[in-house]
Structure 1
Amino acid sequence: MATDEMISQKAEASAWFRSLRDDIVAAFENLEDTQVGGPFAGQPAGRFEVTETKRTGDAGEDAGGGLMSVMRSGRVFEKVGVNISTVYGTLGERAQAAMAARKGIPGMKDDPRFWASGISLVAHMQNPHAPAVHMNTRMFWTPHAWWFGGGSDLNPCLEYDEDTAHFHATQKAWLDPHGEDHYPKLKEWADTYFYVPHRNRARGVGGIFMDDYCTGDWAADFKLTQDIGRAFLPAYVPLVERRRDTGWGEPEKDAQLVHRGLYAEYNLVYDRGTKFGLETGHDANAVLMSLPPLAKWH
């Protein structure tokens, strides 16, 4: 692939993740503005605090960065983060080994340069009836290969079959134009990936997920990645609107905090993005943004 073409594609991908971030931030702040019921309605509508993040290379050089946008103690969201980043440099030995094991990429030791851009979102809710959610999409490049990854999955502590059905049906509708085999494959991928082996259970009610995805057609793979991102708001926002005024008490809050403990266990023990972010020296606060503000273990 021509260098100029890849430079253009990197810029296009990075700009897309920023655009998606802006749309999500606006939609979530609108949920805050329109929340007029429940125990938190009398407080100011939540707003995202935006912090610029920086990554420094091993020799102290600039190695990219991004934006960490976090809302805390809102009317609807107890904590939600929407992060974007574009980072680059050289992979350390541990990251090289992990990448070689996943992709079987030759030549990583000879030329360990990388570039990565993406968006990552996790929302933890005030109302236990409103489901937590995770979404991320990303593009990764080395001189030897490129690929896309990501998806979104729903993590309710109190499950509603109709919510699960809506979340999955919306994602299927966005994926089917790319081929009707995509949704079942990505759903199965999510079911496998978002599984907590030491608890013998899934992290939530699933969604879609892909990793190391490269058909060789960059434009087609990028369009698929974009539609995974576009599916998120119509899949999720109606569920928040449906559940945010449902009454709740201590039993429901307890169930929420215990479920958050499961979520924290998964992210700290198994999540690839957490491991990669920490191993490549990205801002630890941004990497660990996904952790809930409060959790509980019995």
Structure 2
Amino acid sequence: MEQERSTAAAWFRSLRDRIVAAFEGLEDRGPGAAPAGRFDVTPTTRAEDGGGGLMSVMRGGRVFEKVGVNWSEVHGTLAPRAQAAMASRGVPGIDRDPRFWASGISLVAHMQNPQAPAVHMNTRMFWTPGAWWFGGGADLNPCIEYPADTAHFHATLRAACDAHDSGYYGRFKAWADDYFFIPHRGRARGVGGIFFDDLNTGDWQADFAFTRAVGEAFLPAFLPLAEARMAQSFTDADRDTQLIHRGLYAEYNLVYDRGTKFGLETGHNADAVLMSLPPLAKWV
């Protein structure tokens, strides 16, 4: 499994590089006379054990108010709480051997223009001595919904899923609808997408190919929406709606998000784990 892990980590890194380049290209085409935004890239390390990654964050651009595209490859020993959580999910042997390895990419974009949707995407591979699996997905988070944008986003993800298994889209869309629901608000944080975890069909190549397809679908799903909305006019009321919606997003990520909890519990760089939080938000 060492070769497979190396292959997966390298692909996640390459996806990160291509998305960063595409987002900087969108900044170059963005509205206004301000300088186009560029990513600040910071190496990250885990507090314990080994590994790290790259935290890439752009703030105050023409198109993106804040966007983070992080890549990581980490390994070590799970803390007791994380080990217990894995055991409760039925990970074979994790109660006896807490070693782990994980790699992936995680992305969250908060936009300057309230007409343009915020977005999240991640793909990852996880390994323990007794198991391996893939996870990830993407979901759209507009504060002002355009049904055509929602339809395009979902259609692009459906096509990626259908190329591998005709049952994946329905299954993983339903999972996203459930996972990204905010119980204390009684509503979803956005208009959904797909979410999957613990994917291990027994065929590593097939599962990795599907995970790659999800990652490759992200730019075609999102870039046309951002480009169409980035120069659209908006009002102060639209901006207020955006800030309130960001408060909802922050609540979800701090209270419920599985990746946030895992990153903090395993000692990864806190700034990288929390890069998903918006630059400004509002509560009423």
Q: Provide the TM-score with structure 2 as the length reference.
A: 0.99
Residues 92, 131 of structure 2: 8 Å contact kept: no
Aligned residues: 284
Instruction: Give 1:56 deviation, angstroms.
Output: 3.3
Aligned to 1:109: 95
Q: Counterpart amino acid of 2:281? A: A
- Of 150, 171, 177, which residue of structure 1 is paired with 2:157? 171
Q: Distance in 2 between matches of 1:85 and 1:170?
A: 26
Instruction: Give 1:110 deviation, angstroms.
Output: 2.2
Aligned to 1:153: 139
Residues 53, 283 of structure 1: 8 Å contact kept: yes
Gaps of 5+ in 2: none
Q: Deviations over 1:188-240 (max 9, x none)?
A: 11101110000000110000110111111100000000000000000000000
Q: Counterpart amino acid of 1:42? A: A
Residues 56, 64 of structure 1: 8 Å contact kept: no
Q: Distance in 2 between matches of 1:213 and 1:77?
A: 32
- Of 234, 237, 244, which residue of structure 1 is paired with 2:220? 234
Alignment of 1:2-81 (within 5 A): 6-35=1-30, 37=31, 41-57=32-48, 61=49, 63-81=50-68
1:83 aligns with 2:70: yes
Q: Distance in 1 between matches of 2:148 and 2:157?
A: 14
Q: Deviations over 1:147-181 (max 9, x none)?
A: 00000000000000000000000111111110211
SS of corresponding position for 2:44: strand
What percentage of aligned pairs have identical amino acids? 70
Q: CA RMSD in A?
A: 0.8
Q: Provide the TM-score with structure 1 as the length reference.
A: 0.94
SS of corresponding position for 1:56: coil
SS of corresponding position for 2:38: coil
Aligned to 1:3: none
Q: Distance in 1 between matches of 2:25 and 2:186?
A: 38
Q: Distance in 2 between matches of 1:87 and 1:80?
A: 22
- Of 183, 192, 200, which residue of structure 2 is paired with 1:197? 183
Aligned to 1:187: 173
SS of corresponding position for 1:268: helix
Q: Distance in 2 between matches of 1:208 and 1:176?
A: 12
Aligned to 2:85: 98
SS of corresponding position for 1:16: helix
Q: Distance in 2 between matches of 1:106 and 1:162?
A: 43
1:282 aligns with 2:268: yes
Residues 54, 64 of structure 1: 8 Å contact kept: yes
Q: Deviations over 1:120-160 (max 9, x none)?
A: 00000000000000000000000010000000000000000
User: Which portions of structure 1, spanning 4 or more consecutive aligned residues, are displaced by more than 3 angstroms?
Assistant: none
Aligned to 2:236: 250
Residues 136, 150 of structure 1: 8 Å contact kept: yes
Gaps of 5+ in 1: 1-5
Q: Deviations over 1:13-56 (max 9, x none)?
A: 00000010011001100110011x3xxx1110000000000113
Q: Counterpart amino acid of 1:181? A: G
- Of 187, 209, 212, which residue of structure 1 is paired with 2:198? 212
SS of corresponding position for 1:261: helix
Residues 176, 183 of structure 1: 8 Å contact kept: yes
SS of corresponding position for 2:119: strand
- Of 242, 259, 267, which residue of structure 1 is paired with 2:253? 267
SS of corresponding position for 1:74: coil
